[in-house]
Amino acid sequence: MAFLYSQLFVRPPYPTQSFEGQTVLVTGSNVGLGFEAARHIARLGAARVILGVRNVSAGEKAKEQIEASTGRSGVCEVWEVDLASNKSTIAFGDRINQLPRLDAAILNAAVATEQFDLVEDYERTITINVINTLLMGLMILPRLKATGKEFPTTQPRLEFVVSEVHAWVNFTEWKESDTPMKVVSDPTKAKMTERYMLSKLLEVLLVQEVASRTRASDVVITMVNPGLCHSALNRERNWQLAMLKTVLARTTEIGSRTLVAGISTGVEGHGSYMCDSQVCNTALSPFVRSDEGRAARLTLWKELTMILEQVRPGILDNLQ
């Protein structure tokens, strides 16, 4: 009922908070929610908007459209990153850390598919939506923290775009093994019709752990649920979802307002789950808020840190 009420009757407010002089990163910003969020941020005065995209030519078209519609020529930069590749993600993170400043980042890029593929030794959705999204978040933490110290009027923010569908799936694999992401990457055990939902549950749990290990005074970390929106995310999914979107989905622009809200909140939003541009931690799934959920979170964290230390030794030092 809460989902239906939100979709049908709640309209997130139009963003008005200034980003004047700031540098903001938005991944997955050549289309959909990321594109519209980047447009809002450019409109609101950001000095630099980094469009992190896999498809550079599509990114260049997005840059032209954003700058033409906002009248802010030269504000956007198109940077290539492929979250299906550890190497590309690391190279992108290293490049971000060379920026003079990074005030906020929206990690929005994701994939939703029912086709099984292994990428970097894990099922593709897990690699993109979970492992390398967290890898990128941890990699850019130093630049965000440094910006807060170098520019005292700035409160750096790091946002992960998640989803309410994290509550629509069971995650029993954490009880079966101390490496549950490896378990769900076994083609004989993968439930691909539930894979996007599972990836968002894993992301929620892991972002909670990162936030618990990061001081709000250094970087405010948020998780944003934009609701069901018209976007390019579901291009690989089924016709039933397309029908549901026809009836219930928000426009892409309205959904993007929630992403901008996620990098506009104060320290009170640190570690929080946001819906309709507001903190709504009670909307997290009962599993996430349970003792079992916390135990699953620690199991996942141990597995993730093992993976990340292999691909980027020393990365956990970024949490200090």
Name the residues annotated as catalytic: 196, 200
DSSP state at residue 14: P
Q: Are 275 and 223 in contact (CB under 8 A)?
A: no
First to last CA, the chain: 41
205 Cβ contact partners less than 8 Å away, ≥ 6 residues apart: 288, 293, 296, 297, 300
Inter-residue contact 156 to 144 (CB < 8 Å):
yes
Residue 29: CA count within 13 A, CB half-sphere: 31
Instruction: Report the chain's C-alpha Rg in angstroms.
Output: 18
> Encoding tokens for residue 183?
């378990």
Query: Helical H runs in the chain?
Result: 2-9, 32-43, 56-70, 86-96, 124-126, 132-150, 173-176, 180-183, 195-212, 239-248, 252-262, 286-289, 291-311
Going by the DSSP 8-state scheme, the letter that residue 113 receives in this structure is B
Q: Pairing between strand 118-119 and 76-80?
A: unpaired
Task: Report the distance separating Cα 21 and Cα 153, nearest Å.
Answer: 11
